[in-house]
Amino acid sequence: MNIYDIAEKSGVSIATVSRVLNDSPNVRAATRERVLEVIRAEGYTPNAFARGLGLGSMRMVGILCTSVRDPFYAQAVGHVEEHFRRNGLNAILRCTGPTTEEKKQALEYMTQKNVDAIVLIGSIFCEDEDNSHIAAAAQQVPIIIINGHIDLPGVYCVTSDERKAVCDLVEALFRRHKKRILFLHDIMTYSCQQKIAGYRDGCALFDEPVDDALIVPVERNLDAVNDCIKRLLVQGVSFDAVVGAEDILALGAQKSLHRIGLNMPIIGFNNSTLARCATPELTSIDNGLEQMCTIALGVLDTLLEKKEASRHTVVPAKLVERDSFRAN
């Protein structure tokens, strides 16, 4: 069943059928009805590939993330997919893992598939040495980065003001006389750098020197965090509060410290389900993910209309207070 069949059965040319299909105004109402009737009766739907060939688009966006199995990215993918779908854009999902090589391949794959845009989820896509693969892809198709920033033509970024949020948090902790704040993080992404910058900003507000021994990298899983905390204590590194660059890190620290019998404010990041599932519930910084996704969609809409869009938008991040903060 193709457009020729429909044309024949309706007694019109394929051009007319095509016009009906594409809501062209240049079709007499009666003709349109007749064609639509045949289309309905035959249950016809146009071939997406042929349409893509003619139009150069299948109204698809590529979504890249390092792993949907990570709840934070899953959350983001969900939001992006939903926002886009509501605007008639569907998603090709591709997980890349952390290596630059795979990210590059994924980017090439998406451009070859003629997607209308590529959404990069997380600043982990921003390499600090070489982003030429992103630059190359951006020449073919708009690239949108959620919570990451690269200053490149064709690359549109939406970030969260995590720097300020951490700064405010540090300030609040200092006011409670918590001056040795342990900051746990995993991969040193753009986002992570912002958080650390915020940490330093906060210390600077109080003219307090930053003890680099308190900024500690650790793998993103409970066991690694537990080992890390124990090691720090054995090494005699003292601290009276913990901030995790991800909820899971904060949660790991919480469990570890609880086991040891230590009690102090613990704050996570992303305000994920984990935060509420922790005991006691974790205070967490919400980076405004959904708002970032809404803006991303707006940017893309603007671009698809061939208008210019802002290359960098920043949304606020805010602290969501829960037990792990109040109690201590």
Partner DNA sequence: TTGAAAGCGGTACCAT
Partner DNA sequence: ATGGTACCGCTTTCAA
What residue ranges bind DNA (CB under 7 A)? 2-4, 11-16, 18-19, 21-22, 25-28, 30-32, 44, 46-47, 50-51, 53-55
| DSSP 8-state assignment for residue 278 | S
How far apart CA 197 and CA 245 sit, in angstroms, is 12
Question: Phi and psi at residue 242, in whole multiples of 5°?
Answer: -130, 135
CB of 213 vs DNA, minimal distance in Å: 56
Using DSSP's 3-state secondary structure scheme, residue 258 falls into helix
Minimum distance between the CB of residue 132 and a copy of itself, rounded to whole angstroms?
14
The two three-digit tokens of residue 174, written as one number: 């200092």
Residue appearing with tokens 């064709």: 154
- Check residue 63 and give left, alpha or beta (phi > 0: left; psi -120 to 50: alpha): beta
Radius of gyration of the chain (CA): 25
Q: What's the CA dihedral at 145, 301, 93, 90 to 10 degrees?
A: 170
Residue 140: CB atoms within 10 Å: 16
Binding residue for a copy of itself, selected from 192, 241, 274, 285, defined by CB under 8 A: 274
Binding track over 64-103 against a copy of itself, x by CB under 8 A? ---xxx-x--xx-xxx-xx--x----xxxxxx--------
The reply on whether position 262 binds a copy of itself by CB under 8 A is no
302 touches which of DNA, a copy of itself, none (CB within 5 to 8 A by kind)?
none
> What is the bridge-based pairing of β-strands 283-286 and 318-320?
antiparallel
Q: Binding-site residue total for a copy of itself (CB under 8 A)? A: 46
Rounded CA-CA distance 152/120 in Å is 14
109 binds a copy of itself (CB under 8 A): yes
One residue of 278, 295, 300, 317 binding a copy of itself per CB under 8 A: 278
**225 is a site residue for a copy of itself (CB under 8 A):** no
SS3 302: helix
Cβ proximity to a copy of itself: between 25 and 56 the closer is: 56
How far is residue 278's CA from residue 70's CA, in Å, rounded to a whole number? 17
Instruction: Provide the token pair at 311.
Output: 């290359």
Asked if 113 interacts with a copy of itself (CB under 8 A), we say yes
Q: Least distance to a copy of itself from the beta carbon of 323, Å?
A: 11
Q: In angstroms, what is the minimal distance from the CB of 54 to a copy of itself? A: 9
Out of 242, 243, 248, 303, name the contact with a copy of itself by CB under 8 A: 248
Binding residues vs a copy of itself (CB under 8 A): 45-50, 52-53, 56, 58, 60, 63, 67-69, 71, 74-75, 77-79, 81-82, 85, 90-95, 108-109, 112-114, 222, 248, 251, 255, 258, 273-274, 276-279
